[in-house]
């Protein structure tokens, strides 16, 4: 059989070992599988609306109905002020921004559990899955965003006192931060849920509760001083606030807190990828 | 020149038994404390091999110290009973999960086919699924595009490529899925049981495809319970038993060792009303000496004694002959010789002798099942109770070159020319 000595045989293209070092993250491999990520995004998009009559209209119906509900409940019944901005516009801006975060987090946090059958049969970089989820949610965010712009233009035309500021240029950066936060939290949770399922239950209502700790249905200016520190510790707060400032032209951008969100996102993503990378190798045995 | 492309070095895989999720936190903590104090992992038991019914501790070794290597162009058949560790081995190699100890070294791209149609989405059309599945298996978009027509052609579902696969019959689904996988061009192809589905024609096509893959110098690992397919396809084999590698060698040695092991374990299967009961049976040569092998072309006898427990109108007696892949090869009944067994009185005993002339099945191992009964039901049926070997000899086969093992029978012929 093999007569060569081991010394001459060391040009293996791959060696599978029980444990690899914590920081051995292969992002190059992810790039090689970029076609797969595109295919997953396409699949999500196509499969979501097969056999529906309204198709992609559902992207718009969901934030629209939520906005109407918020206008009635929080605006008219509870009477929470909206910084002088038309209620519809105020809520919808918050909802569209928040929605992208919550869908990213919810969907990616199920990565291992939902895809156990496919992960159990074939290898590809597992990160391809959550990344494709974030991208396909970006598509729905884009559609909702365009819809929101439509509303904004309507309100400007009828002469309401709203005007997007120069901060609009920050929006791509904000979207990146939202995606990063959603992905970061999502992959950490999905890694932990392979062993301890408790988190699944926490996530579903936790995300809803989280929204109330973020200035989506109320403006930052309405928060009592003693809660301010708590709300500001939430990395989503500066993002949603800046998002509103950019589109609606109220308040000013607090760059310090935005920097905090950025730092938070970077650290979270790094930790998330490390944990995910460690879990992906043997999660099939415990999931 | 052949080169080692896969090498398993002391590979083991441990699984936890029972409900995962209860007590895992305490186990994790135990393990963690052991590690920081430099002790050995307390949950790793030594010397517990994988006996599925023996629960020694909460952990089980699905694979234990596996060592083997494989050269390029070789087709390896992995043989073993359920639970022997075959699937675990393939899972480790296809990187679905990591080994507990040891190393697996690989040269080249691996494509694994542990299941056909992995990632197929029912709502997507055949065409969309070809691209999706191809990408999951590791092909780039460009590769799939260049092979798209070939894939559709091979699958034979070209009429329906724009129909969602949820409308496909299960056969079409499998054919399409296999077609995608078959057009991968990895250096190493891993295949698990995919041939269990699909009709005979498609199975033939699939085996042919895998053969051509190996002929082009690529390496194939194949797991199947279909021993005929394994023998057709593989050049080399390994036999797994309870997670350990017990034998490695040419495929025919492996499959026959596996068959031997599995027959010895099974008790004889017997069924029927026993109104008439088989008392004894034997295989003899023409001189009456008990034998368990015959030469191809020879005559031999099966003798069977039976007793009627009740008065019975008539009974038939048949012999079924199966080969060692459990394929039904021959059927003999008294009715074909216009021989009748009639009017059996209660307590009456008879002794039958059946002469079988010029045995013409291909050399190999065979099993005879005995059946007593009539059109109203089975009196006594003993499955695979006589095991015998047909040896080649020189009565029928005289060619100087080896007999083609794919042939199931040998026909005596005489030749002339004018």
Question: In this complex, is the C-beta atom of A38 within 8 Å of any C-beta atom belonging to chain B?
Answer: yes
Residue B47 has pLDDT above 50, yes or no: no
- Residue A53 domain-assigned (yes or no): no
Q: What is the DSSP string of chain A?
A: ---S-GGGG---SEEE-S---TT---HHHHHHTHHHHHHHHHHHHHHHHTT-SSGGGHHHHHHHHHHHHHIIIIIIIS----TTS-HHHHHHHHHHHHHHHHHHHHHHTTHHHHTHHHHTT--S-TTHHHHHHHHHHHHHHHHHHHHHHHHHHHHHHTT-S----GGGGGHHHHHHHHHHHHHHHHHHHHHHHTT-THHHHHHHHHHHHHHHTTTTSS-GGGS-HHHHHHHHHSTHHHHHHHHHHHHH--S---HHHHHHHHHHHHHHHHHHHHHHHHHTTTGGGT-
> How much is the pLDDT for B318?
93
Residue A195 has pLDDT above 60, yes or no: yes
Q: Which two tokens stand for residue A78?
A: 């509870």
Which of A9, A16, A122 lies at the smallest CB-CB distance from B112? A122
What domain range includes position A214? 66-282
CA distance A113 to A118: 10
Question: In this complex, is the C-beta atom of A228 within 8 Å of any C-beta atom belonging to chain B?
Answer: no
Residue A125 has pLDDT above 70, yes or no: yes
- Residue A13 domain-assigned (yes or no): no
Query: Which of B92, B98, B112 to mutate to probe the A interface, most A CBs <10 Å?
Result: B98
- Residue A71 domain-assigned (yes or no): yes
- Residue A75 domain-assigned (yes or no): yes
Sign of the dihedral through C-alpha B404, B407, B413, B415: negative
> How much is the pLDDT for B53?
41
Give the sheet arrangement for strand B300-308, strand by strand.
Answer: B276-284, B300-308, B349-356
Average pLDDT, rounded, for chain B: 83
CA distance B329 to B408: 8
Average pLDDT, rounded, for chain A: 86
Tell me the shortest Cα–Cα distance from B92 to chain A, in angstroms.
8
Q: Answer whether B179's CB lies under 8 Å from B206's CB.
A: no
Numbered ranges of CATH 3.40.50.300 in chain B: 4-20+40-263
> How much is the pLDDT for A189?
92
Mean pLDDT of B72-99: 86
More confident residue, A37 or B213: A37
Least confident of A232-241, B61-70, B227-236: B227-236
Residue A127 has pLDDT above 60, yes or no: yes
Contact A39 B135 (CB under 8 A): yes
Numbered ranges of CATH 2.70.50.60 in chain B: 270-391
Band of pLDDT at residue B48, cut at 50, 70 and 90: very low
> How much is the pLDDT for A25?
72
- Residue A250 domain-assigned (yes or no): yes
> How much is the pLDDT for A144?
94
- What residues in B contact A46, CB-CB < 8 Å? 123-124, 128
For domain B270-391, give the CATH number. Answer: 2.70.50.60
> How much is the pLDDT for B52?
44
- Residue A7 domain-assigned (yes or no): no
Per-residue pLDDT of A40-67, as tens digits, reads 999 888 888 777 778 778 888 999 999 9
- Residue A184 domain-assigned (yes or no): yes
Question: In this complex, is the C-beta atom of A14 within 8 Å of any C-beta atom belonging to chain B?
Answer: yes
Sign of the dihedral through C-alpha B146, B150, B155, B157: positive
Question: How far is Cα of residue B134 from the mean position of the Cα atoms in its chain?
Answer: 28
Residue B338 has pLDDT above 80, yes or no: yes
Least confident of A74-88, B16-30, B90-104: B16-30
pTM of the model: 0.71
Q: Answer whether B238's CB lies under 8 Å from B254's CB.
A: yes
Q: In terms of DSSP H, where are the helices of B2-74?
A: 24-36
Contact A195 B107 (CB under 8 A): no
> How much is the pLDDT for A28?
81
> How much is the pLDDT for A173?
94
Q: In terms of DSSP H, where are the helices of B137-226?
A: 141-155, 170-182, 200-215
Q: Which two tokens stand for residue A261?
A: 């969100």
Contact B136 A124 (CB under 8 A): yes
> How much is the pLDDT for A92?
93
Per-residue pLDDT of B118-161, as tens digits, reads 778 888 889 999 999 888 888 888 989 999 999 999 888 888 98
Which of B4, B91, B106 lies at the smallest CB-CB distance from A14? B106
Per-residue pLDDT of A198-239, as tens digits, reads 788 888 889 999 999 999 988 888 888 888 888 889 999 999
- Residue A12 domain-assigned (yes or no): no
- What residues in B contact A2, CB-CB < 8 Å? 4, 69, 71
Band of pLDDT at residue A184, cut at 50, 70 and 90: very high
- What residues in B contact A197, CB-CB < 8 Å? 21
Residue A106 has pLDDT above 70, yes or no: yes
CA distance B168 to A286: 34
- Which residue, among B108, B96, B136, has the nearest Cα to B6 in the 3D structure? B108
Contact A18 B98 (CB under 8 A): yes
Task: Give domain B4-20+40-263's CATH superfamily.
Answer: P-loop containing nucleotide triphosphate hydrolases (3.40.50.300)
More confident residue, B304 or B326: B304
């Amino acid at each position: 059989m093999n007569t060569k000595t081991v010394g001459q045989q060391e040009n293996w293209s791959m060696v599978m070992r029980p444990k690899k070092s914590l920081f051995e993250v292969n992002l190059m491999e992810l790039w090689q599988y970029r076609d797969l990520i595109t295919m997953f995004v396409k699949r999500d998009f196509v499969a979501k609306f097969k056999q529906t009559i309204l198709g992609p209209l559902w992207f718009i119906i969901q934030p629209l109905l939520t906005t109407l509900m918020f206008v009635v409940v929080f605006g008219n019944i509870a009477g929470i002020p909206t910084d002088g901005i038309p209620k519809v516009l105020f809520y919808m801006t918050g909802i569209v921004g928040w929605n992208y975060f919550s869908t990213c987090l919810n969907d990616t946090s199920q990565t291992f559990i939902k895809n156990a059958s496919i992960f159990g049969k074939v290898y590809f970089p597992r990160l391809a899955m959550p990344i494709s989820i974030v991208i396909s949610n970006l598509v729905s965010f884009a559609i909702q965003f365009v819809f929101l712009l439509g509303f904004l233009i309507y309100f400007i035309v009828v002469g309401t006192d709203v005007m997007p500021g120069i901060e609009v240029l920050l929006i791509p950066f904000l979207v990146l931060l939202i995606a990063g936060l959603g992905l970061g939290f999502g992959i950490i949770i999905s890694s932990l849920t392979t062993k301890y399922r408790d988190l699944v239950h926490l996530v579903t209502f936790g995300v809803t509760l989280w929204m109330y700790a973020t200035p989506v249905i109320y403006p930052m200016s309405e928060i009592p001083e003693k809660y301010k520190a708590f709300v500001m510790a939430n990395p989503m707060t500066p993002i949603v606030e800046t998002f509103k400032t950019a589109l609606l032209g109220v308040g000013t951008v607090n760059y310090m807190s935005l920097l905090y969100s950025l730092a938070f996102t970077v650290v979270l993503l790094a930790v998330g990828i490390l944990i995910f990378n460690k879990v992906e190798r043997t999660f099939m045995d415990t999931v | 020149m052949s080169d080692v492309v896969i090498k398993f070095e002391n590979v083991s895989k441990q699984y936890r038994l029972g409900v995962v999720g209860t007590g895992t936190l305490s186990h994790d903590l135990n393990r963690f404390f052991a590690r920081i104090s430099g002790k050995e992992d307390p949950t790793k038991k030594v010397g517990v091999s994988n006996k599925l019914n023996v629960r020694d501790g909460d952990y089980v070794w699905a694979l234990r110290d596996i060592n083997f290597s494989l050269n390029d162009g070789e087709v390896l058949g992995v043989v073993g009973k359920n639970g022997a560790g075959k699937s675990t081995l393939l899972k480790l190699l296809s990187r679905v999960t990591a080994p507990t100890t040891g190393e697996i070294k690989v040269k080249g791209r691996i494509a694994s086919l542990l299941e056909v149609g992995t990632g197929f989405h029912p709502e997507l059309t055949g065409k969309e699924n070809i691209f999706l599945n191809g990408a999951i298996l590791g092909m780039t978009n460009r590769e799939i595009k260049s092979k798209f027509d070939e894939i559709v052609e091979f699958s034979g579902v070209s009429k329906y490529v724009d129909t969602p696969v949820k409308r496909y019959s299960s056969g079409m689904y499998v054919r399409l899925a296999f077609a995608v996988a078959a057009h991968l061009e990895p250096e190493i192809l891993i295949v698990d049981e995919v041939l269990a589905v699909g009709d005979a024609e498609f199975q033939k096509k699939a085996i042919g495809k895998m053969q051509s893959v190996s002929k082009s110098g690529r390496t194939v690992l194949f797991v199947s319970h279909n021993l005929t397919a394994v023998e057709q396809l593989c050049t080399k084999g390994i036999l797994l038993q309870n997670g350990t590698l017990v034998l490695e060698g040419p495929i025919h040695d492996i499959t026959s060792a596996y068959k031997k092991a599995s027959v010895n374990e099974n008790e004889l299967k017997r069924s029927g009303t026993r109104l008439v009961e088989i008392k004894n049976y034997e295989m003899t040569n023409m001189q009456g000496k008990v034998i368990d092998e015959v030469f191809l072309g020879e005559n031999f006898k099966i003798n069977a004694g039976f007793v009627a427990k009740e008065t019975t109108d008539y009974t038939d007696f048949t012999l079924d002959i199966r080969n060692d892949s459990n394929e039904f090869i021959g059927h003999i009944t008294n009715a074909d010789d216009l021989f009748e067994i009639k009017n059996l009185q209660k307590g009456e005993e008879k002794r039958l002798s059946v002469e079988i002339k010029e045995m013409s099945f291909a050399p190999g191992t065979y099993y005879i099942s005995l059946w007593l009964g009539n059109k109203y039901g089975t009196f006594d049926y003993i499955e695979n109770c006589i095991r015998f070997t047909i040896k080649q000899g020189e009565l029928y086969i005289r060619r100087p070159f080896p007999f083609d093992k794919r042939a199931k029978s040998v026909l005596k012929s005489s030749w002339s020319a004018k």
